[in-house]
Every structure is written in C-alpha cells, then in structure tokens.
C-alpha cells in the first residue's frame, strides 16, 4: 500500500469512527488531541487498524506516535515488514 493510499484510508475510517471532519486530520496535527482519544478509545483504534490496514499495533508502537504523520510512518513501516 502506497503512503497516499494509507493516508486516504486512514482519514476515512478515523473521521467516520471518531466523528471528526476529514480536513482536521493533517500530518502535523496531534492524533490523540484531534480525535479526542481517551485510553479506552485505543482498543477501538486497534480494531480499526486491524480491519482497515491489516496489522495489530501494540502499546509500544504508539509510543512513537504523536502526529498523524508519525502514524503514517508507523503504518508504512509495519506494512513493509509484513
């Protein structure tokens, strides 16, 4: 999956699930703040990532994720390893 496809897929499922405007999901924006995630929401996020991107992230994976750009980096890296 190319990075552009990762971004478009991610924007679609995140905006639908967490009810945020698709335009608010920008590479340099903070993922947790933009999506208004609490700790319970992360299990939903894991389910969505598995369903839409095909891998299951761990808690350690999220340590390097602050912005959406970081998240796309994580996804790219995981998909390359798969």
| 33 or 50: CB nearest other proteins | 50
- Rounded least distance, CB 48 to other proteins, Å: 10
- Rounded least distance, CB 45 to other proteins, Å: 8
Distance CA 43, CA 79 (A): 20
- Rounded least distance, CB 5 to other proteins, Å: 24
Binding site for other proteins (CB under 8 A): 39-40, 42-44, 46-47, 50, 59
- Cβ contacts of 35 within 8 Å, gap of 6 or more: 14, 18, 20, 41, 45
Q: Residue 66: how many CA atoms within 13 Å on its side-chain side? A: 1
């Amino acid at each position: 999956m190319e990075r552009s496809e990762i971004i478009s897929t991610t924007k679609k499922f995140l905006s639908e699930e967490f009810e945020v405007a698709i335009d608010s999901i920008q590479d340099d924006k903070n993922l947790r703040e933009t999506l208004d995630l609490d700790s319970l929401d992360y299990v939903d996020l894991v389910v969505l990532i598995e369903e839409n991107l095909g891998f299951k992230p761990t808690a350690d994976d999220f340590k390097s994720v602050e912005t959406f750009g970081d998240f796309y980096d994580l996804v790219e890296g995981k998909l390359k390893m798969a």
